[in-house]
Amino acid sequence: MVFSSNIFLFAFLPVFLALYYLLPFKARSAWILLGSYALYAWWRLDFLWLLAGVTLAAYFFALAINQAVGPRRFQLLSVGVTLNLLVLAYFKYANFGIDSFNAAITAVGLQPFTWTPVLLPIGLSFFIFHAISYLVDVYRKEEPPTRNLLDFAAFIALFPHLIAGPVLKYNLLADQFRTRTHTLEKFSYGATRFMTGFAKKVLIADTIAPLVTASFGHANPTLADSWLGALAYTLQLYFDFSGYSDMAIGLAAMMGFKFPENFNHPYISRSITEFWRRWHMSLSSWLREYLYIGLGGNRKGRTRTYINLFLTMLLGGLWHGANWTFVLWGAWHGGILAVERRLKEASLWKPSPAWLTIPGTMLLVIVGWVMFRADNVPDALRMYRGMLGLNGVSLSDTLAWQVRPSELVTMLLAGVLVYVAPWWGRTVGDVGGRLLRPRLAVTATTVLLPLFVLAILKLSAQSYTPFLYFQF
Amino acid sequence: MTEFAQDTLKNNIDQPGTPAVLRWMPGAFLIAAVVTGAALTLTSKGARDFPKDQEVVTGKWAHTYETGLDAGVPFRDPAVKLWGTTNYRLFGEAREGALVGADGWLYTSEEFETTDTVTDAREVQKKLAFVREVRDALAAQGAHLIVAVIPAKTRVYPEHLGAYKVPAVKAALYEQFRESVTALGVPAPDLLQVLQQHKAQGNLFVRTDTHWTPLGAKIAADTLAKTVRETWPTLDLPEVSFETTSSAAPQKTGDLLRYLPLPAGEGPQAAEVHVPTTTQVGESGGGLLGDAEVSVTLVGTSYSAIKDWNFEGALKEALHTDVLNAADPGKGPVVPMRAYLKSQALKDAPPKLVIWEIPERFLRFQYPEESR
């Protein structure tokens, strides 16, 4: 069940929220758990055991780690983390591993290994990361293990973040499960965020999607074809995923929870390092805390720091999906992060004007997104050939008829929003949150309301809109 | 790499000085919208339509229920109309699947679609291989095969395409396929050339429909009949006379208008067609019990199956013989032919001639049923 669906919006959400507010505070964790499991089971009932199993394992392993002393603590952590990684490996990477193995052995004339493909449970990557971070935090004694299984299970399954994040640490929400406030202001804030995300997803991302599909499906894209597709995907992905994150944050706020932000105007970044401070921030935070630091971070010398940066992004890329495209995308970002770090340490990184660094960073990001979006590496290489103009320059007639004026206008508006939104944030409210232009804020909210209705109607007209990020 | 944005981005709404209206209006609006939507959705027919015989555990039941619910919400039709109107008025666009040309002409996007030259060519080769298979299977039953390759509407009427241009890679498709069929020893007259020559007589394709008009179908039928007579001069078909009359009142038609959900009177208006009816004249040749033997079978798609175009009737009149219509709409040209080859009708009473109608626009498509 996706957030942008009639069943969620007009059946699940009103029933869930109505009972949530009718129930006493003590019963709300149980209701969250029940509601979240129901939402998960709507996809497939038979995979609910996996979610419950991962939850129970993390809960008991954390208690055991806390009680153990000496090397046994690390042993228990290792077993707990390994179990989670094995689950992830089997459900997410087994097909990829077998396919790659078969490709290698068939290349030397051997018979391929027969294998029934494994179905990837939705949200697996996220709830496995939640479980691992909890175990590591308990091991590091950053957070005592909870003895409240209900709260913990409700945290792992909390439906706003269950399917596509943000990636959260239990200690961020532990206190909020014990006590949190519910006010009309908070609910209204949540409603604003939810409606904003919904409109971003349905009105912008979904409108651009067919153009992206057409461009990436082109057999011999020209310079114009491939750049149009790459730019369209750059906008689609941002509005899709940040829209989803807005909805998640908004839904959580409607239940009194405060989630961390997941995006902070990533396309105004002036370096790839800055980009990762602004894009999918909860994931980059997780990767830093549990992977980069786990690999040794910057404590083992310069060379190891670069290698660690590279490996962190490489594995972060693989986390996004079992495909060589994601590995190469991760390597691309990891490599650039390492180079930027090196330049900075060698004092070769000179402050440059925004008109140079923002487009420069965007270029690197867009090149990366092409690999990220392509179905396979040869498809990505085909797009790159197009971007270099090796198949001609002007818009091809095989794509031209598929380019709809509404898509181009939406792209233009999306582009304007990407660069106006940061200015808007500074103009209407400062970083402390104080409203500088209350009237503008009221006007913007007033505009949002009919946009939300239009988005509902568009959703109904197009009936179904899967989220891009659900595959991860 | 990052710090949590909650440390730097505070909620404006929590801060003093925030206008009071922002503290309640978005929340109240969302509640009102969701409650209204819920009332409309949960009282709709789709909400009470629970799927039967669907697995609950694997999510199939839920998926089917949700699909039904989406289709049944009472605001879906107004939503489709609203967005259809908006996109047409602002951008001159139809919904995905149709293209709005000039002068009120609509075209299906199927006639523009290409995958890549290799994949498309492979599919066309598969079609040709099947033509060979059909030729041999019918020959084994003593039947001749003639193929009617129907040119794309865009090919016959490129002058109404407006800003759209059919991809150049499709330029030679019609002629190449027709020549390849002919090279297999199966006659396939050049209907494109004939239709182009007769454009002055009236519309040969329906302006707002994917199909041809009865006039287009008649010209094709006459051409096919001429080819049959020239190719098999000794073919002895039971003589039956037919005549065709057209309905006095025109009938509005246009399957492509489904892609333009507009208010009445707006946008391209439905084309009008005088629907012909073909009836037998006088006595038939007569079989044992007085029924004429049917020696010609028509196999094909909606171009043959839809009665309004009267392709079957036009063939009867042009061939002076009765025709069994085994066309099946919505499945492309291969599936109906596969079904016919397996049919009892072919085994029990093999015809002398089979006319197989293959529209150019289906050449690159493989219908799922084709592999069954």
From first to last of its 372 residues, what are the pLDDT tens digits of chain B? 333 333 334 455 556 667 888 889 999 999 999 999 999 999 998 899 999 988 999 999 999 999 999 989 999 999 999 999 999 999 999 998 999 999 999 999 999 999 877 888 899 999 999 999 999 999 999 999 999 999 999 999 999 999 999 999 999 999 999 999 999 999 999 999 999 999 999 999 999 999 999 999 999 999 999 999 999 999 989 999 999 999 889 999 899 999 999 999 999 999 999 999 999 987 665 544 555 678 999 999 999 999 999 999 999 999 999 999 999 998 899 999 999 999 998 998 999 999 999 999 999 888 777 765
Contact between A210 and A233 (Cβ < 8 Å): no
The answer to whether B44 is a known catalytic residue is no
Q: B276-281 and B241-246 as β-strands: parallel, antiparallel, unpaired? A: antiparallel
Backbone φ and ψ of B54, nearest 5°: -120, 140
- State the CB neighbour count (10 A cutoff) for residue B176: 14
3-class DSSP state of A150: helix
What pLDDT score does B262 carry? Answer: 93
The shortest CB-CB distance from A441 to any of B1, B12, B93 is to B12
The answer to whether B136 is a known catalytic residue is no
Interface of A with B in 405-444 (CB under 8 A): 405-406, 409, 428-429, 431-435, 438-439, 441-442
What pLDDT score does A143 carry? Answer: 84
Alpha helix positions (H), A392-437: 397-400, 405-428
Question: Would the CB atoms of A397 and B165 count as touching at under 8 Å?
Answer: yes
Question: Would the CB atoms of A185 and B17 count as touching at under 8 Å?
Answer: no
Which residues have a Cβ under 8 Å from the Cβ of A353 and sit 6 or more positions away? none
| The pair of three-digit structure tokens given for residue A460, joined into one six-digit string | 């109904």
For residue A12, what are the CA distances in angstroms to A6, A7, A38, A280, B311?
Answer: 9, 6, 9, 27, 52
User: What is the complex's ipTM, to 2 decimals?
Assistant: 0.91
Question: Would the CB atoms of A431 and B34 count as touching at under 8 Å?
Answer: no
HEC states along B278-308?
A: EEEECCCCCCCCCCCCCCEEEECCHHHHCHH
Residues of chain B found within 8 Å of residue A45, distances taken between Cβ atoms: 56-59
Percent of chain A residues past pLDDT 90, beyond the cut: 82
Distance of CA A408 to the CA centre of its chain: 26
- State the CB neighbour count (10 A cutoff) for residue A179: 8
Partners of residue B358 on adjacent β-strands: B149
The answer to whether A333 is a known catalytic residue is no
What pLDDT score does B14 carry? Answer: 57
The one catalytic residue among B120, B209, B308, B322? B209
Q: What are B244-297's pLDDT values in tens digits?
A: 999 889 999 899 999 999 999 999 999 999 999 999 987 665 544 555 678 999
Minimal CA separation from A218 to chain B, in Å: 7
| The pair of three-digit structure tokens given for residue B218, joined into one six-digit string | 């008649």
Give the H or E element holding residue B149. strand B144-150
Partners of residue B325 on adjacent β-strands: B298
Minimal CA separation from B129 to chain A, in Å: 25
Distance of CA B262 to the CA centre of its chain: 21
Which residues have a Cβ under 8 Å from the Cβ of B266 and sit 6 or more positions away? B85, B88
The shortest CB-CB distance from B168 to any of A217, A220, A397 is to A397
Query: Mean pLDDT, to the nearest integer, of A41-53?
Result: 95
Nearest alpha-carbon partner for B31 in A328, A191, A389, A448: A191
Query: Mean pLDDT, to the nearest integer, of A443-456?
Result: 94
- State the CB neighbour count (10 A cutoff) for residue A350: 6
Give the H or E element holding residue B252. strand B251-253
Nearest alpha-carbon partner for A150 in A36, A258, A67: A36
Angle between helices A124-139 and A170-178 (to 10 degrees): 90
For residue B65, what are the CA distances in angstroms to A40, B41, B46, B52, B251?
Answer: 16, 13, 8, 10, 37
Chain B residue closest in CA terms to A188: B27
Q: What are B171-223's pLDDT values in tens digits?
A: 999 999 999 999 999 999 999 999 999 999 999 999 999 999 999 999 999 99
| The pair of three-digit structure tokens given for residue A435, joined into one six-digit string | 């409203």
| The pair of three-digit structure tokens given for residue A42, joined into one six-digit string | 């709507």
For chain B, counts of helices (H) and of strands (E):
13, 10
The tally of CA atoms less than 13 A away on the side-chain side of residue A189 is: 22
| The pair of three-digit structure tokens given for residue B228, joined into one six-digit string | 């049959």
| The pair of three-digit structure tokens given for residue B86, joined into one six-digit string | 């908006």
- The DSSP call for residue B212 is B
Q: Which amino acid is at B83?
A: W
Buried b (16+ CB within 10 A) or exposed e, A423-440: eeeeebbeeeeebeebee
Q: Check pLDDT > 50 for residue A444.
A: yes
Question: Would the CB atoms of B70 and A194 count as touching at under 8 Å?
Answer: no
The one catalytic residue among B120, B144, B211, B328? B211
Question: Would the CB atoms of A10 and B41 count as touching at under 8 Å?
Answer: yes
3-class DSSP state of B205: strand
Q: Which residue has the tokens 């290349």?
A: A107
Alpha helix positions (H), chain B: 20-42, 45-48, 60-72, 76-91, 117-140, 153-156, 173-183, 191-197, 214-231, 302-305, 311-319, 334-342, 344-348
Question: Would the CB atoms of B79 and A219 count as touching at under 8 Å?
Answer: no
3-class DSSP state of A61: helix
Interface of A with B in 209-248 (CB under 8 A): 210, 217, 219-220
Backbone φ and ψ of A126, nearest 5°: -80, -45
- The DSSP call for residue B249 is S
Q: Edge-to-edge strand order for the sheet containing B353-359?
A: B144-150, B353-359, B296-299, B323-325
3-class DSSP state of B56: coil
User: Which segment of A18-27, A224-233, A328-337, B278-287 scores lowest on mean pLDDT?
Assistant: B278-287
- Is residue A10 within 8 angstroms of chain B, CB to CB? yes
CA atoms A124, A127, A130, A133: torsion sign: negative
Q: Which amino acid is at B125?
A: Q
Contact between B110 and B259 (Cβ < 8 Å): no
The shortest CB-CB distance from A210 to any of B23, B35, B96 is to B96
The tally of CA atoms less than 13 A away on the side-chain side of residue A281 is: 21
B72 burial (CB, 10 Å; 0-12 / 13-18 / 19+) is middle
Q: What are A5-25's pLDDT values in tens digits?
A: 999 999 999 999 999 999 999
Alpha helix positions (H), A46-115: 48-67, 71-88, 94-107
- State the CB neighbour count (10 A cutoff) for residue B249: 8
Chain A residue closest in CA terms to B37: A10
| The pair of three-digit structure tokens given for residue B234, joined into one six-digit string | 């000794």
Question: Would the CB atoms of A401 and B164 count as touching at under 8 Å?
Answer: yes
For residue B255, what are the CA distances in angstroms to B86, B110, B303?
Answer: 21, 14, 13
- State the CB neighbour count (10 A cutoff) for residue A96: 17
Question: Would the CB atoms of B13 and A192 count as touching at under 8 Å?
Answer: yes
What pLDDT score does A435 carry? Answer: 65
| The pair of three-digit structure tokens given for residue B360, joined into one six-digit string | 């150019």
Give 3-state DSSP helix, strand, coil % of chain A, rounded to 5: 75, 0, 25
The whole-angstrom separation of Cα B164 and Cα B102 is 9
3-class DSSP state of B178: helix
Q: B144-150 and B353-359 as β-strands: parallel, antiparallel, unpaired? A: parallel
Minimal CA separation from A457 to chain B, in Å: 5
Contact between B82 and A457 (Cβ < 8 Å): yes
Alpha helix positions (H), A292-376: 302-320, 324-345, 354-373
Q: Which residue has the tokens 């239990």?
A: A170
Backbone φ and ψ of B142, nearest 5°: 80, 20
Query: Mean pLDDT, to the nearest integer, of A68-76?
Result: 95
Question: Would the CB atoms of B26 and A404 count as touching at under 8 Å?
Answer: no
Chain A residue closest in CA terms to B17: A435
| The pair of three-digit structure tokens given for residue A124, joined into one six-digit string | 């697996």
Chain B residue closest in CA terms to A399: B167
Contact between B358 and B298 (Cβ < 8 Å): no
What pLDDT score does A297 carry? Answer: 87
